[in-house]
Structure 1
Amino acid sequence: MTTLDPWGAVKIDNYSKLFDEFGISRFDELLGRIPNPHRYMRRHIIFGHRSYETVLDAMLSGKPFAAMSGFMPSGKAHLGHKMVMEEIIWHQQQGGDAFLAIADREAHAVRGKSWRECRELGINEYILSAIALGLQPGAHIYFQSGSNQVKDLAFELGIKANFSELSAIYGFNGETNVAHMISALTQSADILQPQLKEFGGPKPVVIPVGADQDPHIRLTRGLAYKVNMFVVEERREEGKVYTSVRGKAAPKDALMEIAKRTGGKLYEEHVDIFKSSFAEVESVVREVELKYGGYAFMPPASTYHKFMTGLQGGKMSSSIPDSYIALTDPPEEGAKKVMRAKTGGRVTLEEQKVKGGEPDQCSVYELLVFHLVEDDNELKDYYKECVGGTRMCGACKKHTAELMKAFLKEHQEKRELARKRLGEYGLK
């Protein structure tokens, strides 16, 4: 059984298990519908999703949608964080609202970071890099501790959550501090916040994550269901398909209004509708729930990307500086880390010329795939040369190190420009 721990270092070797064990859908099935897909989509780095169809439908029809993610300010922003930032930015470029949370409540509760450290790391490591990578003004950037909307929503969600549920999802026990539990609910509030009326009301929202963060998604989808006033279900009876709306402690007047607006038959605690489509009923129910003070949350969608391996092989760990490249590493140091990285080369040069290299086992090739080469055909050439034994590890490392050095130099120059623009994003 695979265990997903959003606070631990987890390496998932067999992503196919996640489709069966956790109900994650294959992203490839949607790829053909996506105009101008991000390279993570094209290269199958994004491998799975939950409910991304709702986001894609909104994107294609010009309707509102959003993308959000949070970053815990506990250390340096690295290439793994860059992946999530790029996904948020891509969705913003497709017309979506972008939300970026600095999870300082989580860092304070789980990592013991002071509020001052959280503020400094949040801005200097994460926010500046996100702006440098292309996050545009209009994005909603905030610290959890400074958002009353998030804190109030977390409190409301806490009414519907219990210790047994949090324990089952996260493995909490009697030694877990209460603030840690509150931080989990705060993350759910982050995820649902884009659907509050202050931000335009219910809409599809996607959360790009690594598979280890799926517990947060499952908890939030469950809480969204629990806090809504109504359940809308498609039913079949005697060959007839119809929609049933059940009230969960909803006002009687609200059910009566749903029945009237849909032409449905009103019962004590539900309405059966035969003449309207499921989508039409959902739309009416959402409007009525908002009118009567409810949230009408849509279940948040999510995409799942593969993990980057550490530069020395194995896990990428913040406690092993040579296993990752930080976005604030000096360019020369980033290049040196590439030169020290583990490759998929053979034992000897002669053996590699005969058998070819193994790019699928190479952390240097992974840097090219994930971050440094945008052109797919160029990348395919590198792959063919490697497996064909004509591309040697030394030359490939040197080339990749130069690309990394150039990327870090340009990125850090853009970070300094971003520092001067913080006011455009509502930050000081």
Structure 2
Amino acid sequence: MTVTYFSKTSSIGPSSRYRIFQYLPQLRGEGIQCVVHPLFGEAYFAILKVPSRLSRILLKISYVPRRFARRCRQLVSLRRNDLIVIEGQLFPYLPPVAERILKWCRYRLAVEMDDAIYLTVGHHRKMPALLALADAVIVGNERLAAYARRYSPEVHVVPTVVDTERFIPRVDEPDGESGDSSKAITVVWIGLAYNLWYLDVLAPALRALQAHYPIRLRVVCSQPPQLPGIDVEFRPWDLQREVVDLQDASIGVMPLRDTEWARGKCGLKLLQYMAVGIPAVASPVGVNREIITNGKNGFLASTEREWHNCLEMLCRSPQLRRQMGQAGRRTVVDQYSLSLWGPRLAALYRTVSANGRGGGWAGRKMTSPGSMTRFP
């Protein structure tokens, strides 16, 4: 079986890296040849780091049309593949003409979403049209599934997962784990620069705790945060170091504001923390409430007081950190691991290819309208 996957970015982008690139060895092992065509590459992320807004705009004007033209050439050269998977959309902000042509040519199409793109400017009308014409929709959580079900009868929930053979606990004890109260306790946050503002949620709790505990906040990102009064250790994100940057931390945090956009997130950083065996504290928003059972494999915190109390309990007790870290690791291995979901994604691709509802090159049987499948 052959799958052609049109991703948003190369493997440097976290969404594409975790939704498809990490699955490639698994898919090959399942007998599926998957060819990935990224829309944007590393140059795009370099443009985003340019300080001058005018310079960024000019660079995008030069870069984006060339990448669109490249994607057009890829579409023209398509062969009769078993399945085409589109991450989000083929051409951002443009009408779904290319997708309609593919449908008219009777290709089997699946559209994949791992965030609430339908809330962004220019997509509140486009995404319903895309979901309606797709043979199947693959989403990262139940919130996105609820939206997709309004337009598609075939919705499949495949959560974002991590490679638990790569994200593993550190063998020796990180700082603050030996019971020596003089050693720094490292609270870590990893993410994209446009999400740095979520750190304001826990900033008051960190400032208060710093008066009593040797806490530092490690930020793993493309740029440092602006958090006056907080001891910040900035580490530029690097693919080769991201596991190590988490392993030697003491506590992982995922603060969020309770918005419709945040409810559509898939909890990647939370899974990364838990996979390396460090305890996690997160806002009870969206999928976070499914991943964490409060007080057992992590903590959920809504208010400033709750953030303070949860972090303080973990600061006081290295034993509690170890216990929760071990419980979190078990959760990821048992429910959100790449080894578990690789075969399931392969099975899903085969199912969509065989039973898609658009006709395709062979007859396909559509399941009952409104149905939704979650694997398992």
TM-score (norm 1): 0.24
> Which protein is richer in helix relative to its size?
1
TM-score (norm 2): 0.26
Choose 1 or 2 for highest CA Rg: 1
